[in-house]
Amino acid sequence: MFAAVLALLGGLLLGWSGRAGAVGDPLLSQGKAATASSTEGSSYAAGKAFDGSTSTRWASAEGKDPQWLRVDLGGSATVSRVKLSWESAYAKAYRLEVSADGVTWTTVAEEKAGNGGTDDWAGLGGKGRYVRMYGTARGTSYGYSLFEMQVYGVPDGSPSPTNPSPTGPSPTGTTPGGAFTVVAAGDIAAQCTASDSGCAHPKTAALAQRINPRFYLTMGDNQYDDARLADFRNYYDKTWGAFKAKTHPVPGNHETYDPAGSLAGYKAYFGSIAYPQGKSWYSFDEGNWHFVALDSNAFDQSAQIDWLKADLAANAKKCIAAYWHHPLYSSGGHGNDPVSRPVWKILYGARADLVLNGHDHHYERFAPQDPDGKATADGIVEIVGGMGGAEPYPIEQVQPNSQKRISGDYGVLKLDFTDSGYGWTYVGADGQVKDTGPTYSCH
């Protein structure tokens, strides 16, 4: 036991040089020349991990260890911090290394039990012109893939800030400048378990947990078929329940079917997590974003509509995202649901940016549009993400402004938010990115 503690402390202190990486140290790597041991294809070149975009990425050849990604800072610097934003193909074990000449390398940090998401290493203190991530063990059967690798520090000859930061990885999901990652899905837990080969929600839960975002959103129909408390405990809780404390759920129509009463099992299972403001609708803030969680089973209730108007009027955040179960627009079996149009009009009037829905069991993204379905640059982007585990629905009638549709591939939305915009990928349960959406600025 004592030896294990020493080993852990050794891993945390590796690379400490007496100077903690300052939060204010500048970003040195963006746009700099980059190379890699391999690439999966021309769309995944090394430079994609240093272009400042969370919708592009570097990916190595699949199934091979070791692999590395290197950036040339253009001159010698003291490297204080390195942030790695992993795609689903993450490294279970890797080293961060610096070099003066690109030949001889010094390890400044080492990860031996990585779980993907975002690793933010501070207090490194390494000195050199070149920095690389040297992956020694893949976390999946695929390759290594990074949305971004950001290197912070002080170029030689520059003043050195002295504000200390903790050594080692910061909590996953956090990034400098108010950026954060969210995982979202709807239509999740069928009445099956991981022992059933066709059971999908254990696979999407494992993927969601590997991404390890700041928090999770669910877009209703969390538990099938009647959302009884016993079913929540037997199925949802054994998969997506692993991160219930980090989840902000909303109910779907199946939550209303509970014989014990509409939403009874849902409320009993999630408790104050689903009712933080005493109702099945609520809001919360993260960074520069205001999130609005709505109960689309109750859009005909004036209490929710009045609350929504007051909530948006009081909002001081620049960016707005809302989520609920029934989509206004969908190319799936349920199709368009006009019950959501009055809410869209309120959100459009408040210059909301993003709406997330479930109900139809497929993935679909729409171009920005107004509540009447007219494409417009100041419109709302809607994403249907109902592939969390329930049986897929086919695409039936493609709606205007629909840009991409995927049916049959279970998966989750990985949403990347910044202080001024957002982008996302649809990641399949197999860990592969199935679609990458555009990057939008907030209204």
* pLDDT higher than threshold 60 for residue 230: yes
- Domain total in the chain: 2
| Tokens coding 405 | 């549709």
304: closest CA among 339, 354, 328, 268?
339
Residues 99 and 206 in one domain: no
Are residues 322 and 434 part of one domain? yes
Which SS3 state, helix, strand or coil, does residue 176 take? helix
Q: How confident is the model at residue 157 (pLDDT cuts 50, 70, 90)?
A: low
Query: Is the pLDDT score of 175 beyond 70?
Result: no
- Residue linked to tokens 């500048």: 26
Judge residue 72's burial from the number of C-beta atoms within 10 Å of its C-beta, 0-12 exposed, 13-18 middle, 19 or more buried.
Answer: middle
Q: Which of 141, 165, 189 is the last residue in one of the domains?
A: 165
Q: Which of 397, 330, 340, 337 is nearest to 366 (CA)?
A: 330
Percent of the chain having pLDDT more than 90?
78
Q: What is the CATH number of the domain that holds 203?
A: 3.60.21.10
User: Residue 86's domain is classified under what CATH number?
Assistant: 2.60.120.260
Q: Which residues contact 269 (CB under 8 A, 6 or more apart)?
A: 223, 229, 232, 233, 236, 237
- Quick check: is 191 in a domain? yes
160 and 188 share a domain? no
- Rounded Cα distance, 19 and 406, in Å: 49
Residue 24, in any domain of the structure: yes
Packing angle, helices 341-349 and 302-314, rounded to 10: 20
Same domain, 22 and 113: yes
> Do 145 and 197 sit in the same domain of this protein?
no
The string of pLDDT tens digits covering residues 336-351 is 999 999 999 999 999 9
Considering the domain boundaries, does residue 174 fall inside one? Answer: no
What pLDDT shows up at residue 240?
A: 98
Q: Does the residue 409 lie in any domain? A: yes
- Residue 117's contacts (CB-CB under 8 Å, 6 or more residues apart) are 86, 90, 172, 173, 181, 210, 211, 212, 213
Strand partners, 137: 93
Q: How confident is the model at residue 366 (pLDDT cuts 50, 70, 90)?
A: very high
What pLDDT is stored for residue 24 in this prediction? 63
Residues 6+ apart with CB under 8 A from 328: 336, 337, 338, 340, 341, 344, 355, 357, 371, 382
φ and ψ at 375, to 5 degrees? -65, 130
In angstroms, rounded to a whole number, what is the distance separating the alpha carbons of residues 268 and 158?
57
Domain identity same for 155 and 260? no
Domain co-membership, 123 together with 35: yes
Do residue 52 and residue 96 come from a single domain? Answer: yes
Last residue of a domain, one of 130, 165, 200: 165
**Residue percentage of the chain with pLDDT more than 70:** 90
The answer as to whether 153 is a domain residue is: yes
| Range of lowest pLDDT (89-98, 152-161, 423-432) | 152-161
In whole numbers, what is the pLDDT of the chain averaged over residues?
89
Pull the structure tokens for residue 367. 């171009």
pTM of this structure: 0.64
Residue 4 belongs to some domain of the structure: no
* 231 in the same domain as 134: no
Q: Check whether residue 295 and residue 341 sit in a common domain.
A: yes
Structural domain harbouring 328: 180-441
Domain shared by 96 and 63, yes or no:
yes
Q: Where is the domain boundary, 165, 196, 226?
A: 165
418 within 8 A of 436, measured Cβ to Cβ = no
Q: Is a pLDDT exceeding 60 seen at residue 77?
A: yes
Whether residue 217 sits in one domain with residue 136? no
- Calpha distance 79→70 (Å, rounded): 14
pLDDT level of residue 306 (50, 70, 90 thresholds): very high
The answer, yes or no, to whether residue 442 has pLDDT greater than 80, is yes
pLDDT tens digit sequence for 262-272: 999 999 999 99
User: Could you tell me if residue 369 is inside a domain?
Assistant: yes
Q: In this structure, is residue 172 part of a structural domain?
A: no
pLDDT at residue 431 is higher than 60: yes
Q: Can you give the pLDDT at residue 124? A: 86
